[in-house]
């Protein structure tokens, strides 16, 4: 039957199914829904950070890539130097010499598959400069469109043989997704330059070193309750040396050392030699974003194992101390007083108040004893110093199987608070697993559905409506089991259309635009309608987990007193449903609204040009104690009832 859903029925059929009756018991909520329930997981994959959410437009701004001119096109006499550098952890800089024989000398930056500029928008150019012989010099900073026309030039004067920061704001006279930045030395002589940077002035909350406003807004619009960062596999690294080290990602942005991005060569047929992490979007910025979003921060740290699929390097147990200390120091960075070593670093960056971090993840997709014996060391050390911090362990890379079966009992034995489960499975799996958590052990650690996405292989894993609807159906099961499932985050979050390694992804973007997928809207419909208490919803005395292709859950939103129903009709026919509300006593329903996503064609996708699938909203007529619904074929509906 489930197979039928995806394989044969590609469009809607005429006529309704038989009448269904569902009963919601309003009198006795069955569980609390944590405010963290629906959240987001961010990883720098698919150019999600550098080239994406992080609004820096210049690639390799510090000339620290192994080939220091990657991203740059030097012209004239331009060399890379490192004597008497401006930044000790990013020592390379460029020396530009205009010896008068060449008309000009300088360099262009290509950005991340181009630089996206919008007409009328302002961009802040900054660079560190010096003139070794102390003579005053003139530089031209230029915006060049994709036809090679330098349509905006601004001159800056520099002098002095010690490093100084230059800033100039440029207003773009054109819109172009594939522009370039050019710097030209106009005077005869020598200039040194480092950390050449260009940001939109209009970043999220107008912060310098900020985030792309449209992408951050899209995150905000999800109303996320939790924010897991910074990975994923990048916390493990391709090797231990390239694991994500949070201490490298805080302090002055110019001095954060470059790290390779482990998604550079992961897929041999899709190599990204120019994929590095500037760490400009680092732990301070992640915590700040959590705060902006109203989401609980959930950082994940290396447990002393590099990616077990790749190099599988292991830190010996008697050398694990620095890794454990990183975790303890991170808690101090987030929560410690300004008088503490790491609390002071946070305060010096502009946030004297603690970030109030409550959870920490140890390890990403790890497995076997080599993981559990390290996790145990971390757990003991964190519990001893910070008993209030919740610890998240891993159940490995898949939804079931040997690794999963070994790890869950181990997580119980070690006594972590939450277990991170990952499942990248086919739509049929998501439809078939709406009852996955109905029989989970209520006594052990709670579940964090930390990475999941429906992969429709028949369409090259498109972010299509089939995938989105199967996730919506599955999520009714997360919601019904909110006593055991405490957090859930789709993965991955972002993808640049010209530079992605992994699909599907929640939000796609190019250098100017972004697109919210049908999957995004499913997440948003849950996030905006999370509620506070689970209500029992049954059909024929059972939870609705796929009978006649229907899926359903119900919650109460205590602050507003509203009852919220989530209903999926995955069938090709309209379904008539009568919902009876028990336990309303003297109260009665007076009205409501329905937000819905519907499309008869499973394959429907959104594009940057057009979002074909967006939620629509309509008013709902109610009976005093019941509701008569006609659920459209292939639809996900959220009813909010007053």
Shortest Cβ 492–ligand AHR spacing (Å): 4
Residue corresponding to tokens 């010499």: 97
- State in angstroms the smallest separation of the CB of 64 from ligand AHR: 24
**Distance (Å, rounded) from C-alpha 487 to C-alpha 84?**
49
Question: Is there binding between residue 567 and ligand AHR (CB under 6 A)?
Answer: no
Q: Which two tokens stand for residue 232?
A: 């994923």
Contact status: 43 vs ligand AHR (CB under 6 A)? yes
CB-based closest residue to ligand AHR: 232
Q: Where are the beta strands (DSSP E) in 232-331?
A: 259-260, 276-277, 296-301
231 binds ligand AHR (CB under 6 A): yes
The residues near 593 (Cβ < 8 Å, ≥ 6 apart) are 617, 618, 619, 620, 639, 640
Residue from 52, 304, 393, 397 binding ligand AHR (CB under 6 A):
397
Task: Output the six-digit token pair for 589.
Answer: 């329903």
DSSP state of 107: E
Residues acting as catalytic residues: 365
**Are the CB atoms for 114 and 148 separated by under 8 Å?**
no
Q: Which listed residue (98, 131, 364, 545) binds ligand AHR by CB under 6 A?
A: 364
Q: Does 361 bind ligand AHR (CB under 6 A)?
A: no
The answer to whether 22 contacts ligand AHR (rule: CB under 6 A) is no
Burial class (CB in 10 A: 0-12, 13-18, 19+), 599: buried
Size of the site for ligand AHR (CB under 6 A): 12
Nearer to ligand AHR, 417 or 451 (CB): 451
| Residues 68 and 522 sit within 8 Å (Cβ to Cβ) | no
Contact 128, 162 (CB under 8 A): no
Instruction: Rank residues 52 and 231 by Cβ distance to ligand AHR and give the closer one.
Output: 231
Looking at the Cβ atoms of 400 and 601, the one nearer to ligand AHR is 400
Is residue 274 a contact point for ligand AHR (CB under 6 A)?
no
410: contact with ligand AHR by CB under 6 A: no
For 424, the enclosing helix (H) or strand (E) is strand 418-425
In whole angstroms, how close is the CB of 524 to ligand AHR at the nearest point?
Answer: 19
108, 110, 142, 451: which one binds ligand AHR (CB under 6 A): 451
Nearer to ligand AHR, 259 or 632 (CB): 259
Q: Considering beta carbons, is residue 180 or 455 the nearer one to ligand AHR?
A: 455
Among 53, 324, 491, 525, binds ligand AHR (CB under 6 A): 491
| E-only strand ranges, 590-625 | 592-598, 616-620
Q: Choose between 43 and 142: whose C-beta lies nearer to ligand AHR.
A: 43
Q: Given candidates 22, 24, 233, 295, which one binds ligand AHR under the rule CB under 6 A? A: 233
Per CB under 6 A, does 421 bind ligand AHR? no
* Residue 363 sits in the site that holds ligand AHR (CB under 6 A): no
Read off the tokens for 619. Answer: 């008013």
What tokens does 226 get? 């939790």
Pick the stretch among 123-131, 225-233, 297-305, 463-471 that binds ligand AHR (CB under 6 A).
Answer: 225-233
Nearer CB in complex with ligand AHR: 343/450: 450
Is the bond preceding residue 219 a cis peptide, omega within 30 degrees? no
CA distances from 58 to 197, 198, 200 (A): 6, 6, 11
| Residue 260 engages ligand AHR in binding (rule: CB under 6 A) | no
Largest alpha-carbon pair distance within the chain? 92
Q: In this structure, are residues 313 and 306 in contact, taking their beta carbons and an 8 Å threshold?
A: yes
CB of 399 to ligand AHR, least distance (A): 12
Non-local CB neighbours of 104 within 8 Å, separated by 6+ positions: 75, 76, 98, 184, 185, 186
Tell me how far, at minimum, the Cβ of 579 lies from ligand AHR, in Å. Answer: 37
Comparing CA positions, the residue from 424, 474, 420, 476 lying closest to residue 448 is: 420
The interface region with ligand AHR, picked from 30-38, 108-116, 226-234, 482-490 by CB under 6 A, is 226-234
**Pattern of binders to ligand AHR over 499-518, x per CB under 6 A?**
---x----------------
| Angle, vertex CA 185, rays to CA 179 and CA 191, nearest 5 | 120
Hey, what are 304's tokens?
Answer: 């002393």
Rounded to the nearest whole angstrom, what is the least distance from the CB of residue 233 to ligand AHR in the complex?
A: 4
Nearest approach, Cβ of residue 69 and ligand AHR (Å) = 30
Helix (H) or strand (E) holding 406: helix 402-414
Whichever of 230 and 297 has its CB closer to ligand AHR, that residue is 230
Q: Which of 50, 254, 326, 365 binds ligand AHR (CB under 6 A)?
A: 365
Q: What's the rounded Cα separation, in Å, for the pair 395 and 403?
A: 7
Distance of alpha carbon 245 from alpha carbon 330, whole angstroms: 11
Residues that bind ligand AHR (CB under 6 A): 43, 45, 231-233, 364-365, 397, 451, 491-492, 502
């Amino acid at each position: 039957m489930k197979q039928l859903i995806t394989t044969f029925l590609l469009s809607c059929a005429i006529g309704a199914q038989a009448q269904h009756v569902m009963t919601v018991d309003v009198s006795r909520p069955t569980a609390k829904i944590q405010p963290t329930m629906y959240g987001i997981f961010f990883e720098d994959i698919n150019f999600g950070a550098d080239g994406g959410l992080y609004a820096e437009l210049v690639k390799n701004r510090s000339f620290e890539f192994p080939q220091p001119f990657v991203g740059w096109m030097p012209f004239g006499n331009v060399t890379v130097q490192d004597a008497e550098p401006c930044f000790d952890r990013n020592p390379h800089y460029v020396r530009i010499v205009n010896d008068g024989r060449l008309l000009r000398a300088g360099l262009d930056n290509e950005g991340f598959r181009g630089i996206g500029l919008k007409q009328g928008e302002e961009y802040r150019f900054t660079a560190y400069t010096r003139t070794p012989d102390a003579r005053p010099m003139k530089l031209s900073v230029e915006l060049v469109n994709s036809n090679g026309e330098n349509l905006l030039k601004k001159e800056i004067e520099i002098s002095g043989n010690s490093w100084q920061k230059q800033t100039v704001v440029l207003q773009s006279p054109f819109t172009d997704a594939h522009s370039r930045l050019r710097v030209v030395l106009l005077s005869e002589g020598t200039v040194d330059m480092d950390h050449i940077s260009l940001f939109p002035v209009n970043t999220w909350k107008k912060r310098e070193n900020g985030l792309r406003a449209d992408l951050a807004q899209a995150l905000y619009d999800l109303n996320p309750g939790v924010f897991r960062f910074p990975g994923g596999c990048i916390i493990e690294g391709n090797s231990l040396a390239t694991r994500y080290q949070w201490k490298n990602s805080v302090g002055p942005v110019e001095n954060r050392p470059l790290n390779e991005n482990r998604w550079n060569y992961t897929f041999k047929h899709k190599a990204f030699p120019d994929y590095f992490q500037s760490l400009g979007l680092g732990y301070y910025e992640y915590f700040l974003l959590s705060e902006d979003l109203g989401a609980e921060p959930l950082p994940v740290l290396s447990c002393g194992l590099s990616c077990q699929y790749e190099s599988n390097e292991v830190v010996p147990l008697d050398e694990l101390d620095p890794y454990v200390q990183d975790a303890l120091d991170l808690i101090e960075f987030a929560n410690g007083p300004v008088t503490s070593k790491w609390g002071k670093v946070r305060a010096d960056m502009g946030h004297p108040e603690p970030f109030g971090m409550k959870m920490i993840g140890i390890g990403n997709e790890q497995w076997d004893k080599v993981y559990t014996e390290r996790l145990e060391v971390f757990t003991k050390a964190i519990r001893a110093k910070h008993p209030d911090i919740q610890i998240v362990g891993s159940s490995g890379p898949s939804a079931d199987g040997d690794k999963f079966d070994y790890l869950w009992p181990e997580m119980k034995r070690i006594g972590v608070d939450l277990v991170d489960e990952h499942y990248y499975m086919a739509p049929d799996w998501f439809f078939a697993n709406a009852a996955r958590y109905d029989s989970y052990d209520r006594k052990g650690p709670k579940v964090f559905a930390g990475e999941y996405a429906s992969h429709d292989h028949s369409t090259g894993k498109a972010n299509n409506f089939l995938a989105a609807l199967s996730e919506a159906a599955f999520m009714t099961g997360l919601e019904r089991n909110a006593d055991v499932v405490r957090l859930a985050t789709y993965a991955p979050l972002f993808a640049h259309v010209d530079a992605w390694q992994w699909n599907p992804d929640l939000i796609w973007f190019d250098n100017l635009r972004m697109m919210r997928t049908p999957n995004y809207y499913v997440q948003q419909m849950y996030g905006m309608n999370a509620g506070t208490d689970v209500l029992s919803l049954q059909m024929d005395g059972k939870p609705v987990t796929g009978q006649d292709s229907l899926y359903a859950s119900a919650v109460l939103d205590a602050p507003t007193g509203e009852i919220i129903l989530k209903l999926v009709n995955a069938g090709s026919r309209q379904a008539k449903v009568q919902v009876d509300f028990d336990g309303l006593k003297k109260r009665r329903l007076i009205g409501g609204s329905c937000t819905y996503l519907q499309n008869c064609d499973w394959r429907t996708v959104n594009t940057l040009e057009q979002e074909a699938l967006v939620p629509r909203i309509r008013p709902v007529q109610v009976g005093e104690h019941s509701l008569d619904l006609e659920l459209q074929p292939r639809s996900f509906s959220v009813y909010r009832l007053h």
